[in-house]
Structure 1
Amino acid sequence: MPAKHVIMGGKVHLYKRTRSKYWQCSTFLQGKNFRVSTKKTSFAEAKDIAEDWYLTLRGKSRAGELVTEKTFAEAAEQFWREYPVITQGDRNEIYVEMHRRRLDKYLIPYFGKMGLSQITPGVVQEYRIWRRENSLRGGPPARSTMHQEIVVLRQVLKTALRHGWLTHLPDLSMPYKSAGKITHRAWFSPEEYKQLYTATRRRVKARQGTRHLGSAQQLHDFVLFMANTGLRPDEARHLEHRDIQIVQDLDSDEIILEIEVRGKRGVGFCKSTTGAVKPYQRIVKRNNPKPTDLVFPQKNLYRDMFNNILKEEGLKHDRDGQQRTTYSLRHTYICLRLMEGADIYQIAKNCRTSVEMIEKYYAAHIKNTLDASAINVKRKRKLSKNVDIEEVT
């Protein structure tokens, strides 16, 4: 029996590849060759499968459902070949892995078989509806979750655009979207901050003579250090003693800490307030560290103890219901400095962020920067003067 056969009036070819025991079938539709393995060694069984396969393809062709272009799954595969390599060292590994999960769990199952040109704004909107109606946890996904999924979708489509598989990017913006609600990041007001460090100091006294004394002392100094430097938790996690110097600042004539910071923005610099000096000196005296030792060696930066104190003091949530974390100590530093009248540009540089970010998320200083004399100004009313026509002429 020959290794090649023609069936369905010459429209389907059955053949065997070299070194393969299975029959393959192929056809030509809409200007493109389609091939598939029948996974059968028997010619009779392969012939039946090939006929069914061809009839299915022809039905999809007549219904306009036959994809003759690159699919989303193929573009996603190409995107993932590029993304981890190109972003190596620039993106957090966890962030990269979350992109992979979003692709595998949601985007590929929904868009995978679609041709790239079939992904229109309407299809993307249907995806948003599908995600809200089919959430695995019972409730709809958060806005930030949906935003990140659309970010990955856009990046896959941009990959297709770069390779010439797509002529243009569809509009992926959210229709009917109202202006986002203005929210402020959770922080501690001056009264709440005093309540917090008073509670941590009280815990130190309560742990005297126990094996938990060292942890309580570290937590107390950690709270004071973070609220007087404005470091991010990840920056504090990587901080070594050789990165810190106790100096007398020439501009303010005060004893402060000069810190070389390593974190999400790379290497930066920070000048603390005087309130960070004594906590740091206590840490050094207590631990007698080497220059390369971490200032805060605990992996989770006292997260459990910190949360317990917040719950005990009723400080876990702010008035808007937002949860406070160790990150809130950075927000507290920024807000307190601005409330004291510090220059917003200098604060932005010292915290390794932008003025725009501070204006958007830290609004505690706004009432202090509003000038009532400029707001409540009253313009003097000018009285009209009667002019004699003879004088004008």
Structure 2
Amino acid sequence: MAEHHTLYGGKLHVYKRPNSRFWQCSAYLKGKNRRVSSKEESLQLAKEFAEDWYLDLRGRARDGNLKNEKTFKQAAEQFRREFEVITEGQRSPRYVEGIMKKLDNYLIPFFGDKGLSEITPGLVQEYRIHRQSYAVPRKNYAAPEGHKPNPNTIHQEMVALRQTLKTAVRHGWLDRLPDLSTPYRANSKITRRAWFSPEEYRQLYEATRRRAKAATRANHRIWAEQLHDYVLLMANTGLRPDEVKRLQYRDVEIVEDEATDEVILLISVRGKRGVGYCKSMPGAVRPFERMVERNHPEPSDLLFPIDHAKALDRVLREEDLKFDREGQRRTAYSLRHTYICMRLTEGADIYQVAKNCRTSVEMIQKYYAAHIADSIDAAAVNVRKPRKKPQNQ
């Protein structure tokens, strides 16, 4: 049974929860039960903290500064109930699960008991500092000492925080959103996406081809051949890895392109941007034909029923291709980046590339075109004014 002590004639309570080493304080004021942790293990120090805290509450209540307001935890629970309605079902279950984990693991433990008006830009910055040295242990994984979260992880947590506070604003629990921007931050450096140069790409698909030929067991050979065709298909279509996972045989059609008189694949793509279309390079046709001959599929069968990410990662490490010169990690997504960069290098129209890859021209200009030497027209840059010949005196 939890230890429990009362002060001020039963108006103030000091207690310890089971399996906790800290004493908690609670008091009922202005129609609400208020709680706080003393952060003290000593009962005497906890009582002193509780008295100071209670007297401060009474003073604020007397001056009219103690307001009955919703806590961040209550706003988070409301946001959790509304989330699927807010996103109109356009977010994947995995994304929703990730947002909820960020709330449960980090945001609610830090902001939970705070009143919504107490969440100020200063407190948000304190949260960023707190996260530099704190991480929830994962199953079968312990973060190394001194490990700092990825900047994108903090960004996603700020997204979850902002969405929760927007829920509070909609319900009138908060009059406006606090400033959640990162102070002291300069414009971030724009780095190109990790991709394979033509020589590196050739090294990769030759390595997957060798693995397929070297496989001795039938099932190993089939999956090695699938991996080889996966690499070729990805690099010749520019599909996202999640789009490839959803791809069924009935989504792919071999057609003759009237504009180029080449045989290509016409692919109906279902991905994060909804349903779209992709026209492949001719190099994607033969891998697809091999897959049909090998697998004898039904129209509704997936092209790649298993995830080849781990097998691809193993090949990249064996071939010393896992990281590019800037230390960026290459993954299956790098094959999409390779497709875009090669198309731009060959002089393809940037708008058509963006349309075929179901992305925006701005994204391609920012992360791809700005880092390709062939996108700079030397004839337009190296312009010289004609020099006047000096007149003879």
Q: TM-score range by the shorter chain?
A: 0.7 to 0.9
1:18-64 CA-partner distances (Å, limit 9, x unpaired): xxxxxxx996x5xx42359xxxxxxxxxxxxxxxx999645323257
Equivalent residue of 1:267, what SS?
A: strand
Distance verdict in 2 for CA 1:208–1:376, change over 3 Å:
same
2: CA distance between counterparts of 1:274 and 1:211?
28
In the TM superposition, residue 101 of structure 1 has moved relative to its aligned partner by 1.3
Report the AA paired with residue 105 of structure 2.
K
How far did 1:382 drift? 7.5
* Residue 60 to residue 242, structure 1, CA distance change in 2 (3 Å): same
Task: Tell me the percent identity.
Answer: 58
Tell me the SS of whatever aligns to 2:193: coil
In structure 2, relative to structure 1, the CA distance for the partners of 1:113 and 1:285 (3 Å cut) is same
1:236 corresponds in structure 2 to 244
1:182 positional shift: 1.7
How far does residue 134 in structure 1 lie from its aligned partner after superposition?
3.0
Q: Is the 8 A contact 1:316 1:323 kept in 2?
A: yes
User: How far off its partner does 1:207 sit?
Assistant: 2.0
Distance in 2 separating the partners of 1:216 and 1:98: 32
Partner of 2:22: none
Tell me the residue number matched to 1:159. 167
Matches within 5 A, 1:239-318: 239-298=247-306, 300=307, 302-318=308-324
1:69 Cα offset (Å): 1.5
Change (3 A) 1:195 1:338: same
Name the residue aligned to 2:73: 73
| Pairwise CA distance, 1:121 | 0.9
Preserved CA contact (<8 Å) 2:169 2:175? yes
Contact between 2:341 and 2:369, CA under 8 Å: does it hold in 1?
yes
**Which moves more between the two structures, 177-186 or 362-371?**
362-371
- Is the 2:200–2:321 Cα contact (8 Å) retained in structure 1? yes
Distance 1:135 1:54, change over 3 A: closer
Match of 1:190 among 187, 191, 198: 198
For 2:247 and 2:345, locate their aligned partners in 1 and report how far apart those are by CA, in whole Å: 28
**Matched letter for residue 69 of structure 2:** E
How many residue pairs end up in the alignment?
Answer: 346
Gaps of 5+ in 1: 1-7, 13-24, 37-52, 385-393
In structure 2, C-alpha distance between the alignment counterparts of 1:146 and 1:304, rounded to whole Å: 26
- Shift in Å at residue 208 of structure 1? 5.3
Cα displacement (A) at 1:364: 7.1
* TM-score calculated relative to the size of structure 1: 0.81
- Give the drift of 1:129: 1.1
Alignment equivalent of 1:376, drawn from 372, 382, 392: 382
AA in 1 matched with 2:56? G
Alpha-carbon distance, 1:381 to partner: 6.0
1:159 and 1:223 map into 2 onto residues whose CA distance is 43
Contact 1:335 1:364 in 2 (8 A): no
Measured in 1, the distance between the counterparts of 2:190 and 2:119 equals 32
Aligned mates of 1:255, 1:26 — CA distance in 2: 77
Among 326, 329, 337, the residue aligned to 2:335: 329
> 2:229–2:288: 8 Å Cα contact kept in structure 1?
yes
Q: Deviations over 1:323-363 (max 9, x none)?
A: 21111111111111111000110000001111111112224
Secondary structure of 2:310's aligned partner: helix
Q: Which residue identity is paired with 1:333?
A: Y
Equivalent residue, structure 2, for 1:61: 58
1:354–1:171 CA distance, 2 compared to 1 (3 A):
same
The Cα shift of 1:269 comes to 0.1
1:133/1:211 CA distance change after superposition, 3 Å: closer
Task: State how far apart, in whole Å, the 2-side matches of 1:351 and 1:242 are.
Answer: 20
State the distance in 2 between where 1:209 and 1:99 align.
43
Q: Is contact 1:339–1:365 with CA below 8 Å preserved after alignment?
A: no
Q: Computing the radius of gyration over CA atoms, which structure comes out larger, 1 or 2? A: 1
CA distance in 1, matches of 2:241, 2:288: 16
**TM-score, structure 2 as length reference:** 0.81
Change (3 A) 1:188 1:56: closer
CA distance in 2, matches of 1:114, 1:357: 39
Give the distance between the partners of 2:151 and 2:92, measured in 1 at CA: 22
| Residue correspondence of structure 1 range 1-393 to structure 2 within 5 A | 32-34=30-32, 57-62=54-59, 66-87=66-87, 89-136=89-136, 137=143, 138=145, 139-207=147-215, 210-298=218-306, 300=307, 302-363=308-369, 366-380=372-386
Single out whichever of 339-348 and 159-168 deviates more from structure 2.
Answer: 159-168
User: Hey, what does 1:41 align to over in structure 2?
Assistant: none
RMSD: 2.9
Aligned counterparts of 1:54 and 1:311: Cα–Cα separation in 2: 61
Report the alpha carbon displacement of residue 240 of structure 1 after superposing the two structures with TM. Answer: 0.9
3-state SS, counterpart of residue 132 of structure 2: helix
Aligned residues of 2:344 and 2:369 also touching (Cα < 8 A): no
Q: 1:322 Cα deviation (Å)?
A: 1.5
CA contact (8 A) 2:267 2:278 kept: yes
1:66 CA displacement = 4.5
- The amino acid across from 1:60 in the alignment is L
| One-letter identity of the residue aligned with 1:120 | T
Could you tell me which residue of structure 2 aligns to residue 43 of structure 1?
Answer: none
Structure-1 separation of matches of 2:222 and 2:370? 34
> Counterpart of 1:111 in structure 2: which amino acid?
F
> Residues of 1 paired with 2:265 and 2:294: CA distance?
18
Q: Distance in 2 between matches of 1:140 and 1:315?
A: 26
2 CA distance for matches of 1:61 and 1:72? 23
Confirm or deny: 8 A CA contact 2:27 2:54 kept in the other structure: no
